[in-house]
Structure 1
Amino acid sequence: MVAFKLAELYPDLVHALVISGSILNMTDSISETNLQRLGFSSSSELLLPSSVKGLKTLLRVACHKKLWFPDCLYKDYLEVIFTNRKERSELLEALVISNKDVSVPTFPQKIHLLWGENDQIFRLELAQTMKEQLVSNATIQGIKKAGHLVHLERPCVYNRCLKQFLASLYEDGSAK
């Protein structure tokens, strides 16, 4: 979402975007629909787990393939990553905007949506809808056997797709 905002505010500084697992705006309807479908009451409950069980659930939702680590690694991860819970929770809740306040800016940049085909958090259909909203300068590419954390699950495929998109910028002469 930050990349979209930077591209909107500073079009001269941002020449192109590659977006993975993010949307233009987290509307209240998208948030509510996704949380209900995933079985959570809030974004904080999903994204800021406080137990090993909660972290395992988050990773199960975020990844296509099941990850296995010893519980001690999950505990260490919880201690290191999920600090400042109150502030992070407030930020997550502040990201959600009303459907009435949504506007899709016109982006002059090329935008490439690089998505895990098995993303359970922001499904591929949501990315396709976003591509249609972004009009003609947006492209979408799905990566098989990958979820929301596509860049971690399929790094070689992801980097190959990224490299192809970046090369296309130079072929078109739009990159400086």
Structure 2
Amino acid sequence: MKVEKFTVYAISYGGFVGYRMAEMHEEMVEKLVIVSSGIVCKHDRKLEHVEKIGRSVVDLLVAKTPEDLRILCRMSIHKYDIGRWIPDFFLWGFIAVECCRNEKEELVEELLNEKPEAHLPLLTQETLLIWGEKDTVFPLDWAYQLQRHLGGKSKLEIIRNVGHAANFEAPHLLNRYITSFVLGSA
């Protein structure tokens, strides 16, 4: 495609991927936008957070039942309880078409066991962090932790009264932050 420079936009698990892309291809990744991603969470804090959830994180992220998906929706979306309005047959259909289940389960297990504090590089790119104020998947203090790690080339925008799924709950504001950052008017 002959693209020499680009901006990476990554949300949640994609933040881990986007961060590694920026690290590995710093000459190509000009800017990075990360929305609600627990990249720098210390291992012991991550395990403590998982314990508070009280369920298998693998089962929630690679759902096996409609109830798993409903719980994930409740955790991710602060303003609305959309899970209770979606019929089981629709959720079963979503589960049935999900591909690469084993690979996704392995990825979640790897993330749970990874200790990022031991080897997380400092990026050279300008980075915009966007977080929902009410995020219970990756709490807001994790955003501040990531911003401290990245230092002066990072900026944090917090979207009030929004959970983990900022792209669902506040898409217009999220897009405004991203557009402004990418175009350089922020």
Q: Into which bin does the TM-score normalised by the smaller protein fall?
A: 0.7 to 0.9
Residues 47 and 58 of structure 1 are in contact (CA less than 8 Å); yes or no, is this contact kept in structure 2? yes
Worse-matched range after superposition: 62-71 or 95-104: 95-104
Query: C-alpha separation between the residues in 2 aligned to 1:48 and 1:153?
Result: 22
In structure 1, list runs of 5 or more residues that go unmatched: none
Residues 1:105 and 2:121 aligned together = yes
State which drifts further: 65-74 or 119-128: 65-74
Partner of residue 84 from structure 1, selected from 100, 116, 119: 100
Q: Displacement, 1:100? A: 7.9
Q: How does 1:37-56 map to 2 (within 5 A)?
A: 37-40=52-55, 42-56=56-70
- Report the TM-score when normalising by structure 2: 0.81
CA RMSD of aligned residues (A): 2.1
Partner amino acid for 1:6? M
TM-score normalised over the length of structure 1:
0.85
Residue 148 (structure 1) aligned to one of 160, 164, 176: 164
Shift of the alpha carbon at 1:142? 0.8
Partner of 1:135: 151
Question: Does residue 125 of the first structure (1) align with residue 141 of the second (2)?
Answer: yes
Describe the SS at the equivalent of 2:63.
Answer: coil
Name the SS for the 1:142 alignment partner. Answer: strand
Contact 2:122–2:149, Cα closer than 8 Å, also in 1: no
Contact 2:41 2:142 in 1 (8 A): no
**1:159 alignment partner, SS class:** helix
**Residue 27 of structure 1 contacts residue 102 of structure 1 at CA under 8 Å; is this kept in 2?**
no
How big is each residue's C-alpha offset from its partner over 1:47-84, in whole Å with a ceiling of 9 and x where there is no partner? 11211111111111111121122222212111122x43
1:31 CA displacement = 2.9
Hey, what does 2:30 align to over in structure 1?
A: 15
- Equivalence for 1:72: 89
CA gap of 1:46–1:31, structure 2 versus 1, over 3 A, is farther
Equivalent pair of 1:118/1:124 in contact (CA under 8 Å) = yes
Separation in 2, partners of 1:96, 1:27: 10
In structure 2, give the amino acid aligned to 1:5. R
Greater relative contact order (Cα 8 A, min sep 6): structure 1 or 2? 1
Quote the offset at 1:101 in angstroms. Answer: 6.2
Percent identity, please: 27
